[in-house]
Amino acid sequence: MKILDFLAPSSVTTDLVAADKPEILEQLARKAAPVTGIAAEQILSELLKREELGSTGMGGGVAIPHARFHDLKKPVGMLVRLKKPIDFEAVDGKPVDAVFLLLLPDQPAGEQLSALACTARKLRDPSVIAAVRRAPDSVEIFRTLTAD
């Protein structure tokens, strides 16, 4: 599986402003609702439940909040680059400025793991995340994330 399988050009946003983790999760849930057909409140609730298990801030200024949904037929991704980094309780304690929302179908498990793994692998690459940070617009970020 590749990021191109679940990330659309229109699902990349730059210079989003959020004060904290709950606010960015709420904004992402509102953006994802019309794309998925799932209520924003339900998306937010599942994301918050997942964060209670442990932060999805993977370090290096990146977070990949994710949740599973019975009504979802295929993975849906969204990336936001924040105008100012926020505390996301990341594993390295550093603030986050790139947030990749990943909404997954609850079946099959292999597809979920593949989507999450390819996203984490891509965003863990120092050259990729540096390119995301310096990209002038969402089009260039999309190209960076979907390049092989």
Q: What is the pLDDT of residues 96-136, one digit of tens each?
A: 999 999 999 987 666 667 889 999 999 999 999 999 999 99
Q: Which of 66, 80, 132, 145 is catalytic?
A: 66
Model pLDDT for residues 6-64, shown as the tens digit of each residue: 999 999 999 999 999 999 999 999 999 999 999 999 999 999 999 999 999 999 999 99
For the entire predicted model, the pTM comes to 0.94
**pLDDT at 114 (0 to 100):** 86
**HEC sequence for the chain:** CCHHHCEEEEEEEEEECCCCHHHHHHHHHHHHHHHHCCCHHHHHHHHHHHHHHCCCEEECCEECCEEEECCCCCCEEEEEEEEEEECCCCCCCCCEEEEEEEEEECCCHHHHHHHHHHHHHHHHCHHHHHHHHHCCCHHHHHHHHHCC
List domains and CATH numbers for the chain.
Answer: 3-146 (3.40.930.10)
Is 70 marked active-site? Answer: no
Q: What was the pLDDT predicted at 111?
A: 61
